[in-house]
């Protein structure tokens, strides 16, 4: 078990290094620099700035400098927000995004599984058709359409929720729902079809032949086996929620990390672009690692690591 | 002999988009306490559907029991409320199936799978149920049961899994065991072991077995009585000796002729029955075997033959039993005489 985890951690570090290098190179390939957009700066000031951020060094040297600070977990100073480092920007804005993302993920998984199970058990009945109708809507309506619609009706016209910004828990409800819609619909559909399939399996017939009542057959034998495909797509769905939060944070004016990411690119704020990209990448890589571990726990046939002895 | 289960006029259909599949069309038989009744017949003749219907386990929809009675110890299982049925399944009537690989839940240890049935029916504690499960695994000849109980099905071989299934089915000491082709998916050597095990356990426990099989060799070794099924109907029922040596239905003759026998000289070849089974979407009004029967008369194509008791234990549904039917030389009846329709 330990050896498996160590091997995976090592792979994760390598992956991150590759991502860091590629991002660094691509960033350098984009024309322009952080100071070209604004009004002309005096020659000397520009020069000082360039040297402060090591932008006057040759690219390989810049790369080495950056890698060195990365090893110290230092993402460097932001160029746009002169008084703050990338580390502080992330640590200040990430909790907001994390709350939003986690709420959306929990909402999507719990509701999605529930709807999927109910739809499968009422296969081809009214509830099933209803759930599938909403699932198709959820999958086909993009969040940047759904979010303004919800703002217009649920917030402005019926005044059930605040329209935007982030000043308390009730402010997080609409953005969480908007962010959860797609993964929720995806999970509902997948859970339904997976469960309908599992219900026709021979071992379900065996469970029934033991005299178990339907609720036990469903809870003990059906759900766990149906959930395997869901676990596999949790990784990609989390990615979707992370990237989807860029849009949602913008629409609801939420001071999360997504806002900084979008702005950092138009500002050419090199350290911030790198920092946020690496931060997101580590998050994704870590989520995928967790998903793999969960998979091994749920399905005993998948052996991630040898048990001791035997 | 006291009868444990009595089935009469069982009719089961599947309502498909293409029409109604009449899988079982009026089947009647009984099972005595402690005996083994084998149901034989070719693929698609309705053996599994009959067996699953006994405890209402056919997939429904599309499956539906259209009519009939299944009397088990005085109760009609077809009329029983579901809740009552949960008490009978597994505790009074155990089941094992053809494919031990797909019949066990892959994400649950075999111990838990055995224990849950015991606990559901006997309302006993985990420790007691676990002890019982270990006992059952020992009984079916699984070495190291204390350790094996914590393992998952994929850690067992096919034969071992079928032993687990048997342990599971017998854990609550049912009076009746339905075994639907329990050895078809296994290696030949393992097949013999499993059949021997079932026979041994039956001696110890007195469980009646309804054995579904393709294998007439198995029937000869293990069964007391045989029911021959064809096209959704039972064509002949009798003691093993009556079916093997005094069969009266042409389909049974064909079945016997299609099976290799030790006492045959080398030249004699296996005789497959020419033709194909009836279309269950639109079964013929007469005997289902009429189209393939070398002795078919007009009546055979027009009307279902009535069941005739040839002896107190031997019953056959064939128009040849009619007093006015021409006599057939049963001694010589074999498929050498059949003209293969081209
Ligand atoms: N779930 C189902 N849906 C539709 N038709 C079915 C279903 N199960 C069985 N049938 C039909 O019922 C008929 C009898 O099937 P059954 O499984 O009882 O045959 P069998 O005698 O057990 O054959 P085998 O020896 O191959 O197991 C077949 O024609 C089959 O197509
Ligand atoms: Mg079958």
Put simply, whether B152 touches A (Cβ < 8 Å) is yes
Mean pLDDT score, B201-205: 90
**Partners of A246 in beta bridges:** none
On the question of a cis peptide bond just before residue B61, with omega within 30 degrees of 0, the verdict is yes
pLDDT tens-digit series, residues B229-257: 999 999 999 999 999 988 889 999 888 88
Partner residue opposite B116 with nearest CB, options A203, A210, A224: A210
Instruction: Give B226: exposed, middle or buried? Use CB within 10 Å, 0-12, 13-18, 19+.
Output: buried
* pLDDT at residue B341 is higher than 50: no
Question: In this model, does residue B267 exceed pLDDT 70?
Answer: no
> Tell me, what's the pLDDT at A39?
66
Q: Cβ–Cβ of B89/A209 closer than 8 Å?
A: yes
Assign A310 a pLDDT band (cuts: 50, 70, 90): very low
CA gap A115, B277 in Å, rounded: 44
For the stretch B274-296, pLDDT in tens is 778 888 888 888 888 988 888 88
CB contact (8 A) between residue B152 and residue A221: no
Q: Does the pLDDT of residue B334 top 70, yes or no?
A: no
- Pair type for strands B233-239 and B225-230: antiparallel
A91-257 folds as MetI-like fold (1.10.3720)
Query: B54: CA distance to ligand 1 center in Å?
Result: 15
Instruction: Using the mean position of ligand 2's atoms as its centre, give its distance from the Cα of residue B39 in Å.
Output: 10
Element of type H or E holding B180:
strand B176-180
In this complex, is the C-beta atom of B108 within 8 Å of any C-beta atom belonging to chain A? yes
Of B59, B104, B107, the CB nearest to A206: B104
Residue B69: the pLDDT is 94
The answer to whether B327 and B282 are in contact (CB under 8 A) is: no
Burial B158-171 (b: 16+ CB within 10 A, else e): ebbbbbbbbbbbbb
Q: Which residue in chain A is spatially nearest to B118 when comparing CA positions?
A: A210
Going by their DSSP bridges, the two strands B3-16 and B208-212 should be labelled as unpaired
- Which segments of chain A are extended strands (E)? none
Q: Is A300 exposed, middle or buried (0-12, 13-18, 19+ CB in 10 A)?
A: middle
- pLDDT at A236 > cutoff 90: no
pLDDT, residue A309, reads 36
Answer yes or no: are the C-beta atoms of B177 and B209 closer than 8 Å.
yes
- pTM (2 decimals)? 0.81
Greater confidence (B294 vs B270) lies with B294
Cβ–Cβ gap B120/A208 under 8 Å: no
Quickly state the pLDDT bin for B58 (edges 50, 70, 90): very high
Is B74 touching ligand 1 by the criterion CB < 6 Å?
Answer: no
Ligand nearest to the CA of B179: 2
pLDDT band at B337 (very low <50, low <70, confident <90, very high): very low
Cα B229 to ligand 1 centre (Å): 13
Task: Say if the Cβ atoms of A207 and B105 lie within 8 Å.
Answer: yes
pLDDT in tens, B154-172: 999 988 999 999 999 999 9
A205 inside 8 A of chain B by CB: yes
Residues counted in chain B: 342
Mean pLDDT on A278-296:
86
Using an 8 Å CB-CB cutoff, list chain B residues near A121. Answer: none
Q: pLDDT averaged over chain B? A: 87
Determine, for residues A209 and B94 on separate chains, whether the beta-carbon distance falls below 8 Å. yes
The class that CATH gives domain B3-223 is alpha beta
**Which residue among B91, B105, B152 sits closest to A203, beta carbon to beta carbon?**
B105
User: How many residue pairs from chains A and B have C-beta atoms closer than 8 A?
Assistant: 76
> Which atom of ligand 1 approaches the CA of B12 most closely?
12
Residue B103: the pLDDT is 94
Percentage of chain A lying above the pLDDT 70 cut:
96
Instruction: Categorize the per-residue pLDDT at A29 as very low, low, confident or very high, splitting at 50, 70 and 90.
Output: confident
CB B109 within 8 A of CB B152: yes
A25/B331: higher pLDDT: A25
Is the minimum distance from the CB of B47 to ligand 1 under 6 angstroms? yes
A209 neighbourhood in chain B, CB within 8 Å: 55, 57, 89-90, 94-95, 169
Q: Is the pLDDT of residue A21 over 90?
A: yes
Q: Phi then psi for B285, rounded to 5 degrees?
A: -70, -25
The one-character DSSP state at A172 is: G
pLDDT tens, A238-280? 888 988 888 899 899 888 888 888 888 888 888 898 899 899 8
Inform me whether the pLDDT recorded for B305 exceeds 60: yes
Question: For the residues A33-55, what does the mean pLDDT come to?
Answer: 77
B36-40 and B93-96 beta bridge pairing: unpaired
The predicted complex's ipTM stands at 0.87
**Mean pLDDT, range A226-232, rounded to an integer:** 89
Q: Which residue of B has its CA nearest to A213?
A: B86
pLDDT number for residue A218: 93
CA separation, residue B276 to residues A71, A223, B49, B273, B333 (Å): 76, 42, 20, 8, 20
pLDDT recorded at residue B261: 60
List, in order, residues 6 or more apart from A70 with CB less than 8 Å away: A20, A278
Q: Is the pLDDT of residue B331 over 70?
A: no
- Say if the Cβ atoms of A300 and B116 lie within 8 Å: no
Can you tell me the distance from the alpha carbon of B31 to that of B4, in angstroms, rounded to the nearest whole number? 6
Cα separation, A233 vs A161, in Å, equals: 31
Residue B266: pLDDT over 60: no
| pLDDT class of A76 with cuts at 50, 70, 90 | confident
pLDDT score recorded for residue A235 = 82
The pLDDT value recorded for residue A81 is 83
| Structure confidence by residue, pLDDT tens digits, A116-133 | 999 999 888 888 899 899
pLDDT for residue B191: 85
pLDDT band of residue A14 (cuts 50, 70, 90) is: very high
Whether A305 has a pLDDT exceeding 60, the answer reads no
What are the structural domain ranges in chain A? 91-257
Res. B105: pLDDT tops 60: yes
A positions 220-249 inside 8 Å of B (CB)? 220-221, 224-225
Pairing of strands B208-212, B36-40: parallel
B115 CB-side CA count, 13 A: 17
Nearest ligand (C-alpha, residue B230):
1
- Substitution target in B15, B103, B129, B179 with the highest count of A β-carbons within 10 Å is B103
pLDDT grade, residue B335 (50/70/90)?
very low
In this predicted structure, the answer to whether residue B340 has a pLDDT above a threshold of 70 is no
Please work out whether the CB of residue B45 comes within 6 Å of at least one atom of ligand 1: yes
How far off is chain A from B129, nearest CA to CA, in Å? 15
Domain range summary for chain B, segments of one domain joined by +: 3-223, 236-262+270-321
What pLDDT, on the 0 to 100 scale, is given for residue B88?
93
**Which position has the token pair 């959704």?**
B232
What is the distance between the alpha carbons of residues B227 and B252, in angstroms, rounded to a whole number?
10
Kindly identify which residue of chain B lies nearest to residue A202, measuring between CA atoms. Answer: B103
Average pLDDT score over residue span B163-188: 90
A164-199: pLDDT as tens digits:
788 888 888 899 999 999 999 999 999 999 999 999
State yes or no: pLDDT of A137 exceeds 80.
Answer: yes
**Element housing B23 (H / E):** strand B19-32
Chain B residue numbers with beta carbons less than 8 Å from the beta carbon of A200 are: 59
CA angle A247, A251, A255 (to 5 degrees): 85
Contact at CB, A209 and B104, closer than 8 angstroms: no
Average pLDDT value over all residues in chain A: 87
Smallest CA separation from ligand 1 atom 22, residue? B48
Contact (CB<8Å) A207/B168? no
């Amino acid at each position: 078990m330990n050896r498996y985890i160590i091997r995976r951690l090592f792979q994760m570090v390598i992956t991150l290094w590759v991502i860091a290098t590629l991002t660094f190179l691509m960033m350098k390939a984009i024309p322009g620099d952080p100071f070209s957009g604004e009004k002309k700066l005096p020659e000397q000031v520009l020069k000082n700035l360039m040297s402060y951020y090591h932008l006057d060094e040759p690219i390989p040297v810049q790369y080495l400098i950056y890698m060195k600070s990365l090893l110290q977990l230092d993402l460097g100073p932001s160029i746009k927000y002169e008084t703050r480092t990338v580390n502080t920007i992330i640590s200040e804005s990430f909790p907001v995004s994390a709350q939003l993302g986690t709420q959306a993920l929990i909402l999507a998984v719990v509701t999605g599984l529930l709807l999927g199970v109910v739809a499968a058990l009422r296969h081809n009945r009214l509830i099933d058709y209803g759930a599938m109708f909403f699932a198709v809507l959820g999958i086909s309506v993009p969040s940047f359409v759904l979010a303004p619609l919800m703002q217009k009706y649920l917030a402005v016209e019926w005044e059930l929720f605040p329209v935007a910004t982030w000043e308390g828990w009730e402010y997080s409800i609409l953005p969480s729902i908007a962010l959860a819609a797609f993964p929720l619909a995806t999970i509902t559909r997948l859970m339904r079809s997976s469960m309908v399939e599992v219900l026709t399996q021979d071992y379900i017939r065996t469970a029934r032949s033991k005299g178990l009542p339907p609720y036990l057959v469903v809870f003990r034998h059906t759900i766990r086996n149906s959930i395997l495909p869901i676990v596999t797509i949790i990784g990609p769905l989390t990615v979707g929620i992370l990237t989807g939060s860029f849009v949602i944070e913008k629409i609801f004016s939420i001071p999360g990390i997504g806002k900084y990411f979008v702005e950092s690119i138009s500002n050419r704020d090199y350290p911030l672009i790198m920092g946020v990209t690496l931060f997101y990448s580590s998050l994704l890589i870590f989520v995928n690692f967790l998903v793999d571990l969960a998979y091994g726990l749920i399905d005993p046939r998948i052996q991630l690591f040898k048990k001791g002895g035997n | 002999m006291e009868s444990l289960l009595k089935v009469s006029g069982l009719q089961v259909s599947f309502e498909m988009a293409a029409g109604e599949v009449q899988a079982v069309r009026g089947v009647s038989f009984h099972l005595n306490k402690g005996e083994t009744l084998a149901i034989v017949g070719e693929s698609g003749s309705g053996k599994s559907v009959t067996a699953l219907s006994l405890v209402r386990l056919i997939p429904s929809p599309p499956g539906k029991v259209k009519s009939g009675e299944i009397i088990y110890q005085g109760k009609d299982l077809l009329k029983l409320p579901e809740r009552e049925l949960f008490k009978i399944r597994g505790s009074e009537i155990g089941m094992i199936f053809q494919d031990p690989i797909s019949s066990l839940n892959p994400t649950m240890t075999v111990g838990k799978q055995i224990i849950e049935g015991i606990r559901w029916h006997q309302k006993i504690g985990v420790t007691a149920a676990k002890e019982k499960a270990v006992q059952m695994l020992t009984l079916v000849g699984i070495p190291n049961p204390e350790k094996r109980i914590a393992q998952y099905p994929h850690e067992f071989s096919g034969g071992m899994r079928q032993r687990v299934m048997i342990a599971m089915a017998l854990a609550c000491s049912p009076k009746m065991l339905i075994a639907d082709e329990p050895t078809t998916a296994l290696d030949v050597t393992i097949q013999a072991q499993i059949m021997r095990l079932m026979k041994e356990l039956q001696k110890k426990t007195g469980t009646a077995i309804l054995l579904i099989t393709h294998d007439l060799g198995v029937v000869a070794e293990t069964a007391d009585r045989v029911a021959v099924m064809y096209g959704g109907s039972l064509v002949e029922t009798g003691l093993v000796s009556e079916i093997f040596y005094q069969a009266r239905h042409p389909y049974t003759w064909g079945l016997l002729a299609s099976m290799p026998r030790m006492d045959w000289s080398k030249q004699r070849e296996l005789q497959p029955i020419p033709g194909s089974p009836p279309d269950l979407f639109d079964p013929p009004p007469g005997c289902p075997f009429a189209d393939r029967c070398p002795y078919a008369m007009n009546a055979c194509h027009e009307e279902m033959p009535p069941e005739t008791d040839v002896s107190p234990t031997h019953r056959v549904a064939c128009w040849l039993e009619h007093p006015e039917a021409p006599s057939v030389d049963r001694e010589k009846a074999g498929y050498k005489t059949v003209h293969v329709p081209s």
